[in-house]
Amino acid sequence: MRDKKIFYVRERKTLAFLMGTVYHSHIRNARPNFKSFFGGFFTMIYHSTRNEQLTASSTHAVLQGIAPDGGLYICDPAALRFDWRAALEKDTLSMAADILHALLPDFQDMDRLVRDSYAGKFPTSDLTPLTPVADKYVLELYHGPTSAFKDVALSVLPRLIVAAAKAEGMKGDVVILTATSGDTGKAAMEGFHDVPGTRITVFYPYGGVSAVQQAQMATQEGANVRVCAVRGNFDDAQTGVKEIFAACKDKDLHGAMLSSANSINIGRLAPQVVYYFRAYGDLVKSGRIHLGDVVDYTVPTGNFGDILAGYFARQMGLPVGRLICASNANDVLTEFLTTGRYDKRRPFYKTTSPSMDILVSSNLERLLYLVSQDASCVERLMRELNTQGWYQVSGWMLEQLRAVFGCGCCDDAGAAEVIGRVWREHKYLCDPHTAVAWSVAEQLSEELHDTGAPTVVLSTASPYKFPAAVLSALGRETGENEFFMMNELCRISGVPIPRNLAGLEGRPVLHKDVIDKDAMLDYVLAEVLKK
């Protein structure tokens, strides 16, 4: 019966595609991309997770960011005829171009776009080195211009949006609205600042990011940049951004249109798929595995985007074994993957791993669709989450999820213990987010080691972004000045401070706005769209 249901849904999606000639009418000043429509069986067509009839080309999906009904744009990565073996034989940038072309086929000259995006931003063209530590491998994703994993995707997204605007016939500015739990904001501003035809506004939770993260954002230069703190937590900021999209859907924005740099935008998510392939290729090259062997990945995640990229890689053919979802004290995902119940009505904790301090994991919606293949089911679940604060998936769906995803959580004390122990025993310095993932990998070591597959731990930020937490975990005195603590951490460890962080102290503060969460729409209308 389930097979018949999936067949029916896919047939319905095809019919919706054939009839969906008006799907571009939601964007003002944009022309229909008839190449995508008439070439539908040869290109990737996206649709909303909540309504399969709201379809879009890949350029349209990237440009719009979020679907008109509030859903997220999704494709079926398992339907791609992607030669993953051939991709592994290429250098990182060529591999990235192949993967992005497969996922975003309406973009022209992806090879040039990728190379221009990364030129001069990373120390090496490999972008994300894989480092053996004890019996695991650490995938270091933080060697970009802001020392966070978001750089990998947000180096590419601005060029994708500019190219999409040109392809879709946009005449006005694209206005990027982004909520950040710490890292996305700076990485997005670094990518978009002074890019012609774009404006960007970043909202972050007031007092909810590290001092270094706040300094990175508050000192950001760029004539097209605004930064605003929101009195509330990340979920309040993220919900506010989604509500702004809904409120502005039918407004005259003076020729501008709204888009997003969060991983709700498929153009943010797609580049993250690449480093799963890169890590796998490095393990083959080193002789640790043979081509076709499975690899397990443990991912510290709050909004579920980073780990969902691993699921995309798996669906595209990469031999991904288990995807382990590692949470901090805000363990809503651990509960969900254990019980099938997602309940956001729970205490919110500010932790030493603030980029994971999230109770509403937006990208989980995409996974729910990929597993159920039923947009009406996803729409119902998201409506229940919004109205009653929780939902419960069926036993069949939970069974499918648990076949791929493992889970676990680690509080601040556990993360501090890992940071100190890994440094003492292996002389490897990790940040609190990486420590959470390491701890969860250890908790599930019996389950993971039974397969004989190597475990890759994704490291999402430089330890120097959280010097107080790391220094304390090493048993050293901390103080009020995080820049002093960075220098002390460098003195103790000998690990160089990333250049972009070393130069932060003393820069002029350019952004001081602080507003209530209920004032976000007025702020955007008055300050961002007044141009």
Q: How far apart are CA 117 and CA 68, in angstroms?
A: 29
> Cα–Cα distance between 240 and 205 in angstroms, integer?
11
361: left (phi over 0), alpha (psi -120 to 50) or beta: beta
Residues paired with 74 in a beta bridge: 47
User: How many residues appear in the chain?
Assistant: 531
Q: Look at phi and psi of residue 147 and say left if phi exceeds 0, alpha if psi is from -120 to 50, else beta.
A: left
Q: Considering 13, 136, 150, 242, which one is annotated as catalytic?
A: 150
What's the rounded Cα separation, in Å, for the pair 153 and 174? 18
* CA 290 vs CA 102, 282, 284, 286, 316: distances in Å: 25, 11, 6, 10, 18
Report yes or no: 143 and 128 within 8 Å, Cβ to Cβ. yes
Q: How do strand 174-179 and strand 257-260 relate by DSSP bridges?
A: parallel
Q: Is 113 helix (H, G, I), strand (E, B) or coil?
A: helix
Please give the Cα distance from 322 to 314 (Å, whole number): 10
Q: How many helices (DSSP H) and strands (DSSP E) are in the chain?
A: 25, 16
Do the Cβ atoms of 54 and 68 come closer than 8 Å? yes
Distance CA 95, CA 105 (A): 15
**Number of other residues whose CB lies within 10 A of the CB of residue 12:** 15
Distance CA 455, CA 296 (A): 5
**SS3 of 112, please?**
helix
Q: 149: how many CB neighbours lie within 10 A of its CB? A: 28
The β-bridge relationship of strands 136-140 and 130-133 is antiparallel
* Nearby residues of 503 by Cβ (< 8 Å), 6 or more positions away: none
Closest among 424, 435, 438 to 463, alpha carbons compared: 435
Largest CA distance in the chain: 65
Neighbours of 3 (CB within 10 A): 7
Assess whether 150 carries a catalytic annotation: yes
Strand ranges across the sheet with 225-231: 257-260, 174-179, 198-205, 225-231, 513-516
Phi first, then psi: what are they for 138, rounded to 5°? -105, 120
Distance CA 484, CA 479 (A): 8
Tell me phi and psi for residue 272, to 5 degrees: -70, -20
Instruction: Provide the CB-side half-sphere exposure for 204 (13 A, CA).
Output: 30
How many other CB atoms sit within 10 Å of the CB of residue 403? Answer: 9
Catalytic residues: 150
